[in-house]
Amino acid sequence: MFKAVPVHINFLLVVGVVMAEIKVLIEGYAKQVKGGWIASSTVTLIKSNGKNIIVDPGCNRKKLFEVLKKEKLSVSDIDFVILTHAHADHTLLCGIFDKARVLNAVEIYDNDRQVEYGNFVPDTDVEIIQTPGHCVEHCSVLISTEKGTVVVAGDVFWWVESEKQIVDVEKVDDAHPLETNMVELIKSRKKIIAVAEFIIPGHGKMFKAQKKVCQG
């Protein structure tokens, strides 16, 4: 295990002649309170090949509208929304993006039209990888950049506000015990660390991957 060192970088990826950008719009947070949680996911914006992509819009409406305004984007400017998994703290605001197609681990929705798709967001180099464990349908988003590969990991990695951000592939995830498969989750954590230079967690700060964590 290691202490995750937060990084704050905007990444650029050359897609043809178009420069793509990755930016954390909202850093995810999670705080356990009596009877429940105060939590909303990390919200990530990817601009690739002329397409605007939101990964996990979260559930904090006020913050989301504030950051979109700061980016000079309206909800109608978003072409795709990727949902890493179905938990409401990651998905609740999905419906505000009236013109976006919505992707989960295996399907793409265009209004009521539902079809399976390949491993890439259409017309981009943004890749979807399967990362089950936190829940069975979990996926993550992989982007190769000039500074290294970035993985938007959803809740494969996440921390509550009171925790030190220590990366331990065997850390027990007990937030949803009826859904979580720890064997699969450990595999998914190792898979992400093996391919990523930088990891954006579902709740917490972006950090640099340490390959020694997944060795053995």
Tens of pLDDT, residue by residue over 71-106, are 999 999 999 999 999 999 999 999 999 999 999 999
For each of the domains in the chain, give its residue range(s) and CATH number, in order of start: 2-214 (3.60.15.10)
Q: What global pTM score does this model have?
A: 0.90
Mean pLDDT, rounded, of the chain = 90
Residues paired with 77 in a beta bridge:
none
* Residue of 142, 115, 116, 143 lying closest to 131 (CA atoms): 142
The answer to whether residues 131 and 153 touch, using CB atoms and an 8 Å cutoff, is yes
